[in-house]
Amino acid sequence: MTTLLHCADLHLEACFAAEGLPPAVGDQRRASLRQTFAHILALATERGVDAVTIAGDLYEQDYASPEVASFLAQQFAAAAPIPFYIVPGEHDPWTEDSLYAFARWPDNVHLYPPGALSRLDVAPTVRLWGAAHPLAPHFALCPDSMPEGPGMDILLLHAAQPPGEEALRAAGFDLALLGGVQHARLTPPVIYPGSAEPLSWAEAAGEHVAALITLGEGAPRIEAIPVSQTRYLDLTVDLSGCGSLDDAAALIGSMLRSHGGVAGVDECSLARVTLIGARRFDLDLAALRAQVATPAWVEYDVQLAPAYNPEDFVGEPTPRGLLVQRLQERLAAAAESEGMTVRQALNLALRALDGRRVRPE
């Protein structure tokens, strides 16, 4: 029996500026990626696996420094004698100036270079074939010397487009351990563990795991081991009952805590909070962010409705009623692009007539 721990798409040193995260949060996320990688290696030792396979995008070439290579080499050496089999991917390509080419790797690290598929034996009856990304078409470079006899031939690739089962079998492979897809797909013969950590809202759904694969007689056994620390929360908060910024901050904080699940909300949580309802106070998002008690990073989407219903004042024999009548006439004649401005002006005017502080957002 042979056991493999398969992972992919760690994306160490990823940049999160495109996600709108401030530098401090980006630093925390990069630290989490390293912690997740260390956790995967600890799992390998704990489970006593025969090998670890990594199917590309271990790090981000555009942002990785020699210090990253030192970190990786130390982690691999600490997990010895477990061997690591790595195929470079799309974001960590094998180039002349890549970490793969110039760093000094410990003896238990085995890298697959570009070009034709090459073979390394994990066990007497387990043969692992791989090549650095890209390999297209997948099997055009498949060697003619595919061995016959007992055992398994496994393909290790970074390939977002998985080979079909028929093509895989025709090329002589029993199993494909792949990377390049961000959500886990664990249906043999094609195994994707997904990205170890979701890197954006688009990757928030689905599983992000390390796949423990047991090879022996019969079909491979696959165990999905969750490894992601990051949690994305998507909440809608109705502020209609809040009369102040303090009330709103307390309500949002309470909802974040109640939706954090068993693990709770921590610095690895990212929340998108949509604010709805009728706004009855001045909303200052910077002040709100400072007042909400949570370690999570929170971004806000404001969809608050006007705090007044103009229909309530139609026909009222007061300056307020006359104001509503005049602005509704203006609204009826306004172009669609002007309508929102007129409605906002009406709401501000009604607030001013009520003696409330007026400050357009």
Residue 118 in domain:
yes
- The predicted-structure confidence for 22-72, as pLDDT tens digits, reads as follows 999 999 999 999 999 999 999 999 999 999 999 999 999 999 999 999 999
Report the pLDDT averaged over residues 203-212: 92
- The predicted-structure confidence for 335-351, as pLDDT tens digits, reads as follows 766 766 777 677 777 76
Q: Decide if pLDDT at 12 tops 60.
A: yes
Give me the domain span that covers residue 257. Answer: 231-302
Q: Burial of 333 by CB count in 10 Å (0-12 exposed, 13-18 middle, 19+ buried)?
A: exposed
- The predicted-structure confidence for 163-172, as pLDDT tens digits, reads as follows 788 888 888 8
Q: How many domains does the chain have?
A: 3
Instruction: Judge whether 323 and 349 are in contact, CB under 8 Å.
Output: yes
Query: In sequence order, which residues have a C-beta less than 8 Å from that of residue 51 and are 6 or more positions away?
Result: 2, 4, 5, 82, 83, 84, 85, 122, 128
Instruction: Judge whether 158 and 8 are in contact, CB under 8 Å.
Output: yes
Q: Backbone phi, then psi, for 143, in 5-degree steps?
A: -65, 150
* Residue 222 and residue 129 share a domain: yes
Distances (CA, A) of 236 to 20, 72, 264: 20, 41, 18
CA–CA separation, 354 vs 356, rounded Å? 6
Residue 196 in domain:
yes
* Residue 189 and residue 321 share a domain: no
Estimate the crossing angle of helix 336-353 against helix 319-333, to 10 degrees: 170
Report the pLDDT averaged over residues 190-212: 93
Q: Decide if pLDDT at 10 tops 60.
A: yes
* Residue 117 and residue 70 share a domain: yes
Residue 23 in domain:
yes
pLDDT for 361 equals 44
Nearest to 134 by CA among 187, 105, 95: 95
Dmax over CA atoms of the chain, in Å, equals: 96
Q: Decide if pLDDT at 354 tops 80.
A: no
What does R_g of the chain's alpha carbons equal in angstroms?
A: 28
CA–CA separation, 221 vs 212, rounded Å? 8
- The predicted-structure confidence for 220-253, as pLDDT tens digits, reads as follows 999 999 999 999 999 999 887 888 899 999 999 9
CA–CA separation, 141 vs 163, rounded Å? 14
* Residue 269 and residue 214 share a domain: no
Residue 360 in domain:
no
Query: In sequence order, which residues have a C-beta less than 8 Å from that of residue 317 and are 6 or more positions away?
Result: none
Report the pLDDT averaged over residues 207-214: 96
**Exposure b/e, 100-126, CB count within 10 A at least 16 = b:** beeeebeebbbbbeeeebeebebbeeb
Partners of 278 in the β-ladder: 305
Residue 82 in domain:
yes
Looking at 262, 280, 302, the residue that finishes a domain is: 302
* Residue 66 and residue 182 share a domain: yes
Residue 359 in domain:
no
CA–CA separation, 11 vs 30, rounded Å? 9
* Residue 285 and residue 247 share a domain: yes
CA–CA separation, 149 vs 176, rounded Å? 19
Q: What stretch of H or E contains 347?
A: helix 336-353
Coil, strand or helix at 156: strand
* Residue 178 and residue 292 share a domain: no
Distances (CA, A) of 336 to 103, 303, 326, 343, 345: 61, 18, 18, 11, 15
Report the pLDDT averaged over residues 201-227: 92
* Residue 175 and residue 247 share a domain: no
* Residue 346 and residue 293 share a domain: no
Looking at 263, 286, 302, the residue that finishes a domain is: 302
Q: What does the block give as tokens for 158?
A: 């970074």
* Residue 199 and residue 102 share a domain: yes
Hunting for tokens 């025969």 — which residue is that? 50
Q: Decide if pLDDT at 307 tops 70.
A: no
AA letter at 214: T
Hunting for tokens 């793969």 — which residue is that? 100
Hunting for tokens 């357009």 — which residue is that? 360
* Residue 213 and residue 242 share a domain: no
Find out whether the peptide bond into 189 is cis, omega within 30 degrees of 0: yes
* Residue 177 and residue 120 share a domain: yes
